[in-house]
Structure 1
Amino acid sequence: MSFIRTRVANGVGEIILDRPKALNALDQTMVDDMFVVLKDWVGDPQVQSVLVTSASDRAFCAGGDIRAIRDAALAGDHASVTRYFSAEYELDQLVADFPKPYIALIDGPALGGGLGISVHGEVRVVSEKAMIAMPETAIGFMPDVGSTYFLPRLPAGVGLWLGLTGARVHGSDAVAIGLATHHVPSAEFGGLADDIRSGMPLAQALSGRTETVSGTSLPLAKIAEYFSDDPVAAIVGGLRGAVGDDWAAQTVAQLDAASPTSLVVTAALIELGARSTLDECLERELHAAEQITRTPDFAEGVRAVLVDKDRNPAFSPAELADVDLELVTRIIG
């Protein structure tokens, strides 16, 4: 059984994510199947563009199948962990390099691995129901799928803010900061998809449906002020000192819920990614993923958020000041 469906008609190859019970979380089979399909379509003259959609109205893609990764790591099956991340990152690179228009319609949550199969593509259409986030630090992991390449290329401080806090970006805000290219009302998504499937030129299909994004609800000035190039401890200290600022207090709470080790690793990876190519970032992320999945924080974070769902992880160390910098160096490579 495959959790993706495909069809080719009118010059359009469509990949439909169809694992609704898991909110389309990408398991090994989905990653492998998508790669084979896209690789075949590169040279297929019947496919002039690619459309990626979800069969469910609940989500575009909830990320990678991180529970399965935890199970493998706990069993000492590190070869399976490497195989998964190697295949996933190879798929992300293929999306980025795809020589034909690649269109993702995001009408719901797109988390972690869901960004790997969308943000690297040429066209990313979001609705007001779209919710984009990289929530990995809360599970003792770090932002991956090439995010250490695209996050530092967002407006000042935004990438570090998203990567450290796991903050959620909705609808038109994703267009405003560059994670999406077009905003279309959810009610128009069915018609948009049908027009694209019919072979209608994309610009024509989008015409009359795209809403102009003239601003953002995100506090970009505050994000730029607090999420500079300072060490994570300095960022947290600055936010704690913002007495009476509700946004700062909420942001501190998000950081306090994350693994301190993951925060330091994430900041370092994003800093390195700012001066690296995508393939260099993916190679660095693969090494980091192999290493960080062996740490107790990863097993504990996934347990707390995805397995027992008590949202009360016991990370070790519990404080930024106690993070083992030698371990951070080994994770980053």
Structure 2
Amino acid sequence: MKVRSWTDGTVGRLELDRPAALNALDLDMIRGLREALDRWRSDDDVAEVVITGAGGRAFCSGGDVRAAREAVLAGRAELADTFFAEEYALNGAIAELPKPYVAVIDGVAMGGGLGVSIHGSARVVTERAALAMPETALGFTPDVGSTYFLSHLDGDPAGAVGRYLALTGARIGAADALALGLATHFVPANAVDALLDDAGAEGTAAALARHAADPAEAGEPSLAPYRDRIEATFSAGTVTEILERLDDAGDDWAAGTAAALRIMCPTSLVVALELLKAGAASTLGQCLENELRAAVWLIARPDFAEGVRAVLVDKDRKASWSPARVDEVDAEQIRALLVPAPAAG
């Protein structure tokens, strides 16, 4: 079983158990998680849910996009469409669960790993946590509801930090996750087993009260020195303007950030920014719907197979994108894919 589910006292326990693949989610795992949540939703003996990842290296490294690529190349794109549709439905079900849902992020959590953690009521990080949405390097787009939660980060009213994380795929650690509200508690890795034992004995609230450390122990947020520059740059309305602002800045951080963006898939960058702009005025459900529309469109394009090849299959990091430049991407075509944001008021 790649997803283990059991009860410990009044806690429903979920464990992603595919450590050789860094607990990457495949369709069977998504269905296993959904089945357990649906079962426990109306079970009065289960008061809350806790999810962890096996193996010690990763909570969950994301969705299994290699399998999605293989389906597309085999002419079975509908299998990939089903994967994303069921994954996003799971994300929505987690957010709507009428019981506490606690994710313990110890290790890597990328892409789909954030989809099965960030929508919960409590998100615990250890000093080994590493969070990222790396999809723009894959010819894909940040998804799993990220265009909602990255548009509503703590202390980021303009959404600039969320845009920075989504477009660049930058990794952040526990300190940044706590500062941005992606995480709610910091627990040292060597205390996780005790936290889980106590959660089963007396519930997660009491266990967290005992084992959660001062967030300051997670260290200084790595993004803190760059927040002003991120705000000044990523508040721009188009990817082209973001790149122009970076080029005009002339410092090492700006040059490095511009270089990172220029490696990414141009179409993915434009799609991600349009999704994020829509997400700022949308509900999570609306964001998930738009992400699914974008996902189905993107996986049918050559850039998806090429990006996954370059990053995860051949690992040469030399993707050939079409179109090759951001200013060649038709943003209007992308906007036409999306459900219009609701009117203000």
TM-score for the superposition, normalised by structure 1: 0.96
CA drift of 1:322 comes to 1.3
- Number of residue pairs aligned between Structure 1 and Structure 2: 331
Instruction: Please point out which of 217, 229, 235 is paired with 1:228.
Output: 235
Q: Deviations over 1:251-309 (max 9, x none)?
A: 11220110011101110010001111111111111111111001111110000000100
Match in the other structure for 1:306: 312
Matches within 5 A, 1:114-193: 114-154=113-153, 155=156, 156=158, 157-193=160-196
Matches within 5 A, 1:274-293: 274-293=280-299
Supply the distance in 1 between the matched residues of 2:129 and 2:329 (Cα, whole angstroms). Answer: 35
CA drift of 1:91 comes to 0.4
Instruction: Please point out which of 253, 269, 275 is paired with 1:269.
Output: 275
Cα RMSD, aligned residues only = 1.5
Matched-pair contact (CA < 8 Å) for 1:64–1:113: yes
Q: Deviations over 1:119-143 (max 9, x none)?
A: 0000000011100000000010001
SS in 2 for 1:60: strand
Runs of 4+ in structure 1 over 6 Å off = none
Q: Deviations over 1:92-112 (max 9, x none)?
A: 001000111100000101000
Matches within 5 A, 1:32-43: 32-43=31-42
CA drift of 1:39 comes to 0.5
Matched-pair contact (CA < 8 Å) for 1:103–1:121: yes
Do residues 199 (structure 1) and 198 (structure 2) align? no
- CA change 1:58–1:208 in 2 (3 A) is closer
- CA change 1:61–1:204 in 2 (3 A) is closer
TM-score for the superposition, normalised by structure 2: 0.92
Matches within 5 A, 1:252-267: 252-267=258-273
Q: Deviations over 1:213-250 (max 9, x none)?
A: 4962312222111110421111111111221x222122
Matched-pair contact (CA < 8 Å) for 1:176–1:215: no
CA drift of 1:331 comes to 4.6
Matched-pair contact (CA < 8 Å) for 1:140–1:299: yes
Do residues 294 (structure 1) and 300 (structure 2) align? yes
Matched-pair contact (CA < 8 Å) for 1:92–1:117: yes
Instruction: Please point out which of 243, 246, 271 is paired with 1:239.
Output: 246
Unmatched runs of 5 consecutive residues or more in structure 1: none
Matched-pair contact (CA < 8 Å) for 1:265–1:332: no
Match in the other structure for 2:54: 55
Matched-pair contact (CA < 8 Å) for 1:8–1:46: no
Match in the other structure for 1:31: 30
Unmatched runs of 5 consecutive residues or more in structure 2: 340-345
- CA change 1:9–1:193 in 2 (3 A) is closer
